[in-house]
C-alpha cells in the first residue's frame, strides 16, 4: 500500500491535483503544444514540395515555389507564436502550483503537533519547504513544456510519415522500442540515486543550520575542525551520490542520440533505395522524410531528459508529501471557547513521557486557585518545563486531566486556552520587523501609547529610545541586540497583552541583577490577582510565591511556602542552601 502511494505514478497524480485550480492554463498549454508541433511538422512537407519545384540547374518553377515559401513563413511564425504562448501558460501553471504546494507545506507546519517539530531537525524541514519544492518546480516546468510537445511531435511525425510512405515508416517504428528501453532503464537508475540525493541534501541543510545557529559554541570549544570534518563527510556522501545521479542522467543524451543515429541512417538508406526505384518517393519527399526522422527522434532525447528531471522532482515530492501527510493536531473545531478566564487550574493524576520507554511525569496532582503564584523548582530534567508544555497543551497528557475553571483543556479550543496565558520563556524570539511590531506581536491593534507603557514597565524603553529610529527601528534575532535586551522585549510583549494567567519560565535568566530587581517589581504589579506559574533556578526570586512545588524525577516531592519548606529540612532545603553555600 505504501509502495503504491509512493510510486512515481501516484506522486505525479497527486502533483497534478495541485494544478486543478489552473486547469485553463493546462488546456492552453496542451492546445499550444499541439498547434506548435503541427506547425513544426508541416514545415518539412512544404520544404519537400519546394525541393520538388527545383527540377534542375537553372530550371526552377518559381510560380509554384513562391506560394509555398509564403505558407512556410506563415507556418514558422505560427509555430513560434504558439511556442511562446505554451511557455507563458506553462510558467503561470507551474508557479501557481508550486506556490500552493509551498503554502500547503508551510501551513502544515502551523498545524503539526509540537512533537513533530521537536523531533525533526529544523534544517530538514527548511530543506523540504524550500529546496525540495524548487526541485519540483524545475521538474514540472520541464515536464509540462517538453513532455506535451514531445508526445505530440512523436505521434504527429508518425502520422505524417505514414501518409507519405508506409514501408519507410516501418523502419522508424521498428527501432522505436529500443529508444523506449534505453529511456526506461536510465529512468530507473536515476530514480534511486535522486532519492538518495534528496535525503542527503536535507541532512546537509540540517547540519549546516545546526552549526550556523550555534557557531559561538563551536568556536568557544575550538570545534571548528571537528565540525568541518563532519560536514565534509556528509558533503562527500552527497557529492558521491550526486555524481552518480548526474552520471546516469547524463547517459540519457548520448544513449538516445545513438538510437537517433540508427533511425536517421535507416531512413536514409531505405529512403534512398526507394527513391531510386521506379514509382518510389521523390527527392523532396526523401528530404521531408529525413527531416521527420530527425524530428521524430529528437523528442525521445527531450523526454528522456525530462524523465530524469522528473525522477528528481518525484524524489523531492515524496519528501514534501511526507511533511504534508504528517499527523495533524487533533481537531478542536467544535470545542468550547474559553471566555472570562478566572485562573483556577487543576491537575489531576497526570502522567506523561516524551518517550514511552523513559518515564518522566507520573501521578502529578495540583490544585491552583485564582490569583495564586505557583513556583516550580527542581533539578535539571525533573519535568518543570514539561509541566508548562502540558499547561499550554503543546503536548497532551498520556493520562489524567488538566482543567481551567472546571473545563478540561481537551474540551476547549487551543487558541482560547493559549490566549489565556502570557508566557515568557528562557529562549527569546525576535522576528524581523520594527521594535513596535515585535512588542505588539500578541496585540497587533495596540496603540503607540500602550506599546510605550508596556516597554517602560519592562524597562526596555530606555535602550529603545537610543536606537536610530526608536520604536520604528527594524530589528531581527541577529541585529546586535544583547540577550538581555531581547528578553526585555519579550517581557514587554507579554505586559502589553495582560492575560489572566502567566507563565514565566526563567524569564529573567539573561538579565543583570539590577534590572532583574526592577523587572521583579514589574512582575509583581503585572501578576497581581493573576494566576502565575514561575519556573525558577534562582530560588531567591520565588520567596514570595504562594506555593512552591518541588519536583524531582517527574514527581512533586514537596509542596509549601518558602518558609515551610526550609523548616522541613528536605529536598528544597538542600537546593536552597546549595545556592548560598559559603566557599
SS (H, E, C) 272-308: HHHHHCCCCCCHHHHHHHHHHHHHHHHHHHHHHHHHH
pLDDT at 3 over 60: no
* Average confidence (pLDDT) over 405-427: 87
Which of 63-67, 69-73, 528-532, 577-581 has the highest average model confidence (pLDDT)? 69-73
Average pLDDT, the chain: 82
Record the pTM.
Answer: 0.67
Give the residue carrying C-alpha cell 560536514.
Answer: 231
Which among 408, 369, 360 has a CA at the least distance from the CA of 387?
360
Which among 369, 370, 423 has a CA at the least distance from the CA of 392?
423
Task: Please tell us whether the domain made up of 2-324 is placed in CATH 1.20.1560.10.
Answer: yes
Percent of the chain past pLDDT 70, that is, above it, reads 91
Cell representation of residue 133: 519544492
Kindly list the distances between the CA atom of residue 126 and the CA atoms of 106, 133, 210, 397, in Å, as whole numbers in the listed order. Answer: 10, 10, 12, 29
* Average confidence (pLDDT) over 227-234: 86
* Average confidence (pLDDT) over 139-143: 76
Q: Residue 582 — pLDDT band, cuts 50, 70, 90?
A: very low
Which of 296-305, 363-372, 400-409, 534-543 is predicted least confidently? 296-305
Cell representation of residue 557: 516531592
Summary count for the chain: helices (H), strands (E): 22, 14
Which among 282, 246, 212, 239 has a CA at the least distance from the CA of 51?
282
pLDDT for 1 = 41
* Average confidence (pLDDT) over 188-209: 79
Measure the CA–CA gap between 477 and 493, rounded to whole angstroms.
15
Cα dihedral across residues 302, 304, 308, 310: positive or negative: positive
Position with higher pLDDT, 461 vs 1: 461
Which of 123-137, 174-188, 189-203, 385-399 is predicted least confidently? 174-188
DSSP 513-529: HHHHHHHHHHHHHHTTT
pLDDT at 528 over 70: yes
The values of phi and psi at residue 48, to 5°, are -60, -40
pLDDT at 240 over 60: yes
pLDDT at 353 over 60: yes
Instruction: Give SS3 for 512.
Output: coil
pLDDT for 301 = 64
Query: Looking at residue 337, what DSSP letter applies?
Result: P
pLDDT at 57 over 60: no
65-117 pLDDT per residue, tens: 888 888 889 988 998 999 899 888 888 888 898 899 998 888 888 888 888 88
pLDDT at 551 over 90: no
447-475 pLDDT per residue, tens: 999 999 999 888 889 899 999 899 999 99
Which of 158-172, 271-285, 509-523, 525-539 is predicted least confidently? 509-523
Kindly list the distances between the CA atom of residue 492 and the CA atoms of 154, 353, 424, 523, in Å, as whole numbers in the listed order. Answer: 67, 33, 10, 11
Instruction: Give SS3 for 428.
Output: coil
Which among 566, 564, 563, 567 has a CA at the least distance from the CA of 576?
566
252-276 pLDDT per residue, tens: 667 777 777 777 787 778 778 877 7
To which CATH superfamily is domain 345-579 assigned? P-loop containing nucleotide triphosphate hydrolases (3.40.50.300)
Which of 185-199, 258-272, 526-540, 559-573 has the highest average model confidence (pLDDT)? 559-573
pLDDT for 508 = 66
Cα dihedral across residues 285, 286, 291, 297: positive or negative: positive
Domain ranges of the chain: 2-324, 345-579
* Average confidence (pLDDT) over 39-53: 79
pLDDT for 55 = 60
Q: Residue 583 — pLDDT band, cuts 50, 70, 90?
A: very low
Instruction: Give SS3 for 61.
Output: coil
Give the residue carrying C-alpha cell 508550486.
Answer: 98
Rg of the chain in Å (alpha carbons): 35
- Spatial contact of 161 and 281, defined as CB atoms under 8 Å apart: no
pLDDT for 94 = 87
Kindly list the distances between the CA atom of residue 3 and the CA atoms of 9, 327, 358, 453, in Å, as whole numbers in the listed order. Answer: 11, 19, 33, 59
Measure the CA–CA gap between 380 and 351, rounded to whole angstroms.
19
Cell representation of residue 488: 526585555
Bridge partners of 408, per DSSP, are 403
Which of 13-27, 117-131, 179-193, 511-525 has the highest average model confidence (pLDDT)? 13-27
Amino acid at each position: 500500500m505504501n509502495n503504491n502511494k509512493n510510486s512515481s505514478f501516484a506522486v505525479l497524480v497527486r502533483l497534478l491535483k495541485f494544478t486543478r485550480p489552473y486547469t485553463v492554463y493546462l488546456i492552453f498549454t496542451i492546445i499550444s503544444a499541439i498547434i506548435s508541433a503541427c506547425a513544426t511538422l508541416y514545415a518539412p512537407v512544404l520544404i519537400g514540395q519546394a525541393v520538388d519545384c527545383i527540377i534542375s540547374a537553372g530550371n526552377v518553377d518559381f510560380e509554384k515555389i513562391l506560394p509555398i515559401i509564403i505558407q512556410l513563413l506563415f507556418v514558422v511564425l505560427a509555430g513560434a507564436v504558439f511556442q511562446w504562448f505554451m511557455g507563458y501558460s506553462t510558467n503561470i501553471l507551474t508557479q501557481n502550483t508550486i506556490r500552493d504546494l509551498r503554502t500547503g507545506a508551510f501551513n502544515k507546519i502551523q498545524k503539526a503537533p509540537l512533537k513533530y517539530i521537536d523531533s525533526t531537525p529544523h534544517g530538514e524541514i527548511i530543506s523540504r519547504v524550500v529546496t525540495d519544492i524548487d526541485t519540483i518546480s524545475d521538474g514540472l516546468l520541464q515536464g509540462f513544456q517538453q513532455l506535451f510537445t514531445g508526445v505530440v511531435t512523436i505521434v504527429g511525425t508518425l502520422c505524417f510519415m505514414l501518409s507519405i510512405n508506409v514501408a519507410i515508416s516501418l523502419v522508424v517504428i521498428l527501432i522505436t522500442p529500443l529508444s523506449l528501453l534505453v529511456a526506461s532503464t536510465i529512468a530507473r537508475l536515476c530514480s534511486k540515486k535522486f532519492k538518495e540525493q534528496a535525503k542527503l541534501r536535507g541532512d546537509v541543510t540540517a547540519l549546516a543550520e545546526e552549526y550556523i545557529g550555534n557557531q559561538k559554541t563551536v568556536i568557544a570549544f575550538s570545534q571548528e575542525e571537528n565540525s568541518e570534518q563532519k560536514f565534509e563527510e556528509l558533503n562527500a556522501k552527497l557529492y558521491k551520490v550526486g555524481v552518480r545521479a548526474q552520471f546516469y542522467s547524463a547517459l540519457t543524451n548520448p544513449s538516445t542520440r545513438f538510437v537517433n543515429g540508427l533511425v536517421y541512417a535507416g531512413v536514409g538508406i531505405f529512403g534512398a533505395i526507394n527513391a531510386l526505384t521506379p514509382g518510389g518517393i521523390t527527392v523532396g519527399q526523401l528530404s521531408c522524410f529525413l527531416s521527420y526522422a530527425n524530428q521524430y527522434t529528437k523528442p525521445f532525447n527531450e523526454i528522456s531528459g525530462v524523465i530524469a528531471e522528473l525522477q528528481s522532482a518525484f524524489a523531492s515530492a515524496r519528501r514534501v508529501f511526507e511533511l504534508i501527510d504528517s499527523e495533524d493536531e487533533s481537531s478542536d473545531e467544535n470545542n468550547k471557547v474559553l471566555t472570562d478566564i478566572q485562573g483556577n487550574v487543576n491537575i489531576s493524576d497526570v502522567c506523561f513521557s516524551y518517550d514511552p520507554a523513559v518515564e518522566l511525569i507520573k501521578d502529578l496532582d495540583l490544585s491552583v486557585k485564582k490569583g495564586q503564584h505557583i513556583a516550580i523548582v527542581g533539578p535539571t530534567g525533573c519535568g518543570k518545563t514539561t509541566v508548562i508544555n502540558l499547561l499550554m497543551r503543546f503536548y497532551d497528557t498520556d493520562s489524567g486531566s488538566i482543567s481551567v475553571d472546571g473545563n478540561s483543556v481537551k474540551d476547549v479550543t487551543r487558541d482560547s486556552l493559549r490566549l489565556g496565558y502570557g508566557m515568557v520563556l528562557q529562549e527569546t524570539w525576535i522576528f524581523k520587523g520594527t521594535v513596535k511590531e515585535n512588542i505588539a506581536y500578541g496585540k497587533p491593534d495596540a496603540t503607540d501609547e500602550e506599546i510605550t507603557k508596556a516597554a517602560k514597565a519592562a524597562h526596555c524603553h530606555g535602550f529603545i529610545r537610543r536606537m536610530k529610529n526608536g520604536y520604528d527601528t527594524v530589528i531581527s534575532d541577529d541585529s546586535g541586540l544583547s540577550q538581555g535586551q531581547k528578553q526585555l522585549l519579550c517581557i514587554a510583549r507579554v505586559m502589553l497583552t495582560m492575560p489572566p494567567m502567566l507563565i514565566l519560565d526563567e524569564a529573567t535568566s539573561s538579565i543583570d541583577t539590577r534590572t532583574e530587581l526592577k523587572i521583579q517589581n514589574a512582575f509583581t504589579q503585572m501578576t497581581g490577582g493573576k494566576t502565575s506559574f514561575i519556573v525558577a533556578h534562582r530560588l531567591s526570586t520565588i520567596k514570595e510565591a504562594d506555593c512552591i512545588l518541588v519536583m524531582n524525577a517527574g514527581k512533586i516531592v514537596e509542596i509549601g511556602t518558602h518558609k515551610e519548606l526550609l523548616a522541613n529540612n528536605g529536598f528544597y532545603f538542600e537546593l536552597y542552601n546549595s545556592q548560598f553555600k559559603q566557599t
